[in-house]
C-alpha cells in the first residue's frame, strides 16, 4: 500500500507510508526538517543531495518529498551531528520512528492516540470549591468559582492592561495557541468563565496572594503527578518575588557562536522564525498603537474616568483612592484637587463641530494633565503592587 499516514508528534504531525507488507517504507522529509527546525535544508537543496531516494507521492502536494526509511534516519543523525541544540529533538524523532516501525501494521496504535480526557477535578480552598477540567487537550479552571469568595469578577481581571500583556506574551511564545482558546465562557444557570491553566496563578494572585501560593503548589502537583491532593489543608505561603537581574540573565543569555555550518543554519532558522513572529505581533497590535496615540500621546487632558478605565477600576474607586492619598477633596458635592497637587490639573478648552446644527461647540473643562495622569497611575500601581506580582511597571 501507498497510503499516506499522519502520526501525531508534539504539536505537529509526521507523515509516512507503508509497504505492501505493512512496514514503514518512506518518511516525509519536509516534516522531519520542520520538526528539527531545518526547513532551509529543503529549500536550498541539501535534503535532495543527502537523500537520493526522494520522490513525490502525493500529486496534490508536489512540494512534499518522501525518502526511504533508512535514508531518513541517517538524515536525522546528520542534522543533529553538527548541533548540540538538536540532539534532544533528534532523539525524540528517532524514538518515535522506531516505535512506529516496531509496532507493525497489526499492532495497537494506542501510543499515538490522544489519551482520554480525565474526570474533572474539584479543589477546595477555605471551604470554597472550584473545578479544573480537561478541554480540547488543555486544562481549564473555573474562574467564576475561584473568585466568588473574594467578591470579585473574572471580567474585571481580563480587562486589565497587565492581563492583556500576559495573554499576548503566552501566544507570542507559543505557550498558548491563540487568545480565543485562553478564555471560555458558558451560558445558562450554571454559566461560568473558564481560564486556561497558564493563567491560573496570575488570576489567583489578583484575588489573594495567599490563595496564589496555594494554587501554585497545587499546579506543581498537577503537572508532576497528573493529580492533586484534594483534602490537603491550605498552607498559605509568601512566594518570593523573582530576582529581575537573574531573570534578565536567563532570558537574554546569548547563544554560543555557531561552530559549524549546521549550527549556523539552526541560528538562521531560529532568527527567521523569531522575525516572523515579531512581524505578526506588530501587525496584530498596530491598532492598539494607533488607539494609544489618539487617546494618550496626542491628548493634553484626562478625566478621572479615563484614568480609571486605563487602570481597570471604577471611577468611584479611583476618586476614593485619590481622596485617601490627599490628591483631592469633596467640596460642595464635587471633587476638587487639593492645593499641594494643583499643578497636576488645569483648565482645558476643546471644541467640536455639530454637522446637524452647523454649530461649533466650545467647552471648558478642568482635568488632569499628562503629568497628572502619569503621577496617578504610578501612585496606584505602587500602592497596589500585589496586583502586579510585586513588580511596578512604568
pLDDT at 294: 60
Report, as an integer, the average pLDDT of 240-246.
46
Q: Are residues 102 and 130 in the same domain?
A: no
- Local confidence band at 31 (pLDDT 50, 70, 90 cut-offs): confident
pLDDT higher at 137 or 312 = 312
**56, 98: one domain:** yes
338: confidence class by pLDDT, cuts 50, 70, 90: very high
3-state secondary structure of 230: coil
Q: Quick check: 279 pLDDT over 80? A: yes
275 domain residue, yes or no: no
N- to C-terminal Cα separation, the chain: 63
Distance (Å) of CA 183 to CA 116, 152, 154, 178, 180: 22, 17, 10, 10, 6
Q: What is the pLDDT of residue 203?
A: 92
- The answer to whether the beta carbons of residues 62 and 53 sit under 8 Å apart is no
Q: What pLDDT was estimated at residue 244?
A: 45
Examine the domain organization and report whether 128 and 235 are in the same domain: yes
The answer to whether residue 232 sits within a structural domain is yes
Looking at per-residue pLDDT, the higher value among 249 and 9 belongs to 9
179 membership: H or E segment, kind and range = none
Structure letter (DSSP) for residue 387:
G
- DSSP for 241-277 reads PPPHHHHHHHHSPPPPPP-SHHHHHHHHHHHHHHHHH
Predicted pLDDT at 254:
55
Mean pLDDT, rounded, for 5-21: 79
Q: How confident is the model at residue 135 (pLDDT cuts 50, 70, 90)?
A: confident
Inter-residue contact 184 to 132 (CB < 8 Å): no
pLDDT(237) > 50: no
pLDDT given at position 354: 80
- Domain final residue, candidates 53, 88, 112: 112
| Residue 162 lies in domain | 121-240
Question: For residue 137, is it left (φ>0), alpha (ψ between -120 and 50) or beta?
Answer: left
Residues 154 and 220 in one domain: yes
Domains: count for the chain: 3
Query: Per-residue pLDDT averaged across 91-114, rounded?
Result: 63
Decide: 176 and 199 in contact? Cβ < 8 Å.
no
Residues contacting residue 118 through CB under 8 Å, at least 6 positions apart:
134, 226
Confidence label for 255 from pLDDT (cuts 50, 70 and 90): low
Last residue of a domain, one of 68, 84, 112: 112
DSSP characters over 272-308: HHHHHHHHHHHHHTHHHHHHHIIIIIT-S-B-HHHHH
What letter would DSSP give residue 389?
T
pTM of this structure: 0.33
Q: Tell me, what's the pLDDT at 355? A: 80
Residue 341 lies in a domain: yes
Q: Which pLDDT value is given to residue 95?
A: 82
Q: Assess whether 140 and 218 both reside in one domain.
A: yes
Q: Measured in whole angstroms, how far is the alpha carbon of residue 227 from the centre of its chain?
A: 24
Asked whether residue 326 falls in the same domain as residue 359, the answer is: yes
Share of the chain above pLDDT 90, in %: 6
Q: Give all strands (DSSP E) within 39-197, no chain letters.
A: 66-68, 121-125, 128-135, 138-142, 183-186, 192-196
- Is the same domain home to 359 and 383? yes
**267 part of a folded domain:** no
- pLDDT in the model for residue 276: 83
Range from 35-39, 83-87, 152-156, 265-269 that averages highest in pLDDT: 152-156
Distances (CA, A) of 338 to 127, 316, 335, 375, 382: 45, 18, 10, 15, 21
pLDDT at 356: 82
Check residues 373 and 292 and name the one with the higher pLDDT: 373
Q: What is the mean pLDDT of the chain?
A: 77
Co-location of 30 and 48 in the same domain = yes
Per residue, the 3-state secondary structure of 313-328, as one string, reads: CCHHHHHHHHHHCCCE
Give the pLDDT mean for 234-253. Answer: 44
Q: Which of 12-16, 67-71, 257-261, 293-297 has the lowest mean pLDDT?
A: 293-297
302 is a domain residue: yes
Look at residues 63, 65, 70 and name the one whose alpha carbon lies nearest to residue 23.
70
Query: What is residue 2's predicted lDDT score, i.e. its pLDDT?
Result: 57
Question: Cα–Cα distances in Å, from 350 out to 57, 359, 367?
Answer: 69, 14, 12
**Poorest-confidence range of 29-38, 64-73, 236-245, 294-303?**
236-245
Secondary element (H or E) of residue 356: none
- Give Dmax over CA atoms of the chain in angstroms: 92
Same domain, 55 and 141: no
Whether 136 maps to a domain, the answer reads: yes
Q: Which of 56, 90, 112 is the last residue of a domain?
A: 112
Question: Is residue 167 included in any domain, yes or no?
Answer: yes
* Structure-model confidence comparison of residues 267 and 226, the more confident one: 267
Going by pLDDT thresholds of 50, 70 and 90, the confidence category of residue 341 is: very high
User: Is there a domain that residue 247 lies in?
Assistant: no
Same domain membership, residue 232 and residue 144: yes
One domain for residues 312 and 350:
yes
pLDDT for 346-387, tens place per residue? 887 767 778 888 888 877 778 888 889 899 999 988 888 655
Amino acid at each position: 500500500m501507498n497510503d499516506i499516514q499522519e502520526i501525531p508528534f508534539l504539536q505537529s504531525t509526521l507523515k509516512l507510508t507503508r509497504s505492501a507488507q505493512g512496514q514503514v517504507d518512506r518518511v516525509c522529509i519536509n516534516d522531519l526538517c520542520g520538526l528539527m527546525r531545518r526547513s532551509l535544508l529543503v529549500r536550498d537543496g541539501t535534503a535532495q543531495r543527502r537523500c537520493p531516494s526522494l520522490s513525490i507521492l502525493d500529486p496534490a502536494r508536489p512540494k512534499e518529498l518522501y525518502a526511504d526509511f533508512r535514508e531518513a534516519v541517517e538524515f536525522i543523525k546528520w542534522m543533529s551531528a553538527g548541533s548540540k541544540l538538536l540532539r534532544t529533538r533528534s532523539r525524540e524523532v528517532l524514538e518515535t520512528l522506531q516505535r512506529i516501525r516496531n509496532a507493525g501494521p497489526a499492532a495497537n496504535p494506542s501510543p499515538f492516540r490522544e489519551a482520554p480526557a480525565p474526570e474533572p477535578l474539584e479543589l477546595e480552598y477555605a471551604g470554597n470549591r472550584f473545578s479544573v477540567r480537561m478541554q480540547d487537550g488543555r486544562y481549564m479552571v473555573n474562574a467564576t468559582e475561584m473568585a466568588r469568595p473574594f467578591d470579585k469578577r473574572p471580567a474585571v481581571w481580563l480587562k486589565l492592561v497587565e492581563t492583556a500583556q500576559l495573554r499576548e506574551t503566552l501566544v507570542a511564545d507559543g505557550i498558548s495557541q491563540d487568545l480565543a482558546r485562553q478564555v471560555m465562557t458558558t451560558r445558562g444557570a450554571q454559566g461560568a468563565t473558564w481560564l486556561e491553566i497558564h493563567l491560573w496563578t496570575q488570576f489567583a494572585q489578583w484575588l489573594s496572594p495567599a490563595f496564589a501560593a496555594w494554587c501554585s503548589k497545587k499546579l506543581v502537583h498537577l503537572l508532576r503527578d497528573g493529580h492533586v491532593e484534594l483534602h490537603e489543608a491550605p498552607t498559605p505561603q509568601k512566594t518570593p518575588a523573582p530576582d529581575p537581574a537573574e531573570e534578565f540573565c536567563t532570558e537574554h543569555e546569548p547563544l554560543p557562536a555557531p561552530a559549524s555550518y549546521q549550527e549556523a543554519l539552526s541560528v538562521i532558522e531560529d532568527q527567521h522564525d523569531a522575525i516572523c513572529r515579531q512581524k505578526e505581533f506588530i501587525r496584530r497590535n498596530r491598532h492598539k498603537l494607533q488607539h494609544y496615540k489618539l487617546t494618550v500621546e496626542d491628548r493634553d487632558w484626562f478625566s478621572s474616568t479615563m484614568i480609571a478605565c486605563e487602570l481597570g477600576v471604577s471611577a468611584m474607586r479611583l476618586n476614593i483612592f485619590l481622596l485617601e492619598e490627599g490628591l483631592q477633596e469633596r467640596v460642595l458635592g464635587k471633587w476638587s484637587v487639593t492645593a499641594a497637587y494643583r499643578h497636576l490639573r488645569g483648565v482645558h478648552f476643546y471644541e467640536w463641530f455639530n454637522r446637524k446644527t452647523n454649530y461649533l461647540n466650545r467647552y471648558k473643562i478642568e482635568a488632569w494633565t499628562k503629568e497628572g495622569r502619569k503621577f496617578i497611575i504610578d501612585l496606584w500601581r505602587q500602592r497596589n503592587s500585589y496586583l502586579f506580582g510585586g513588580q511596578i511597571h512604568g
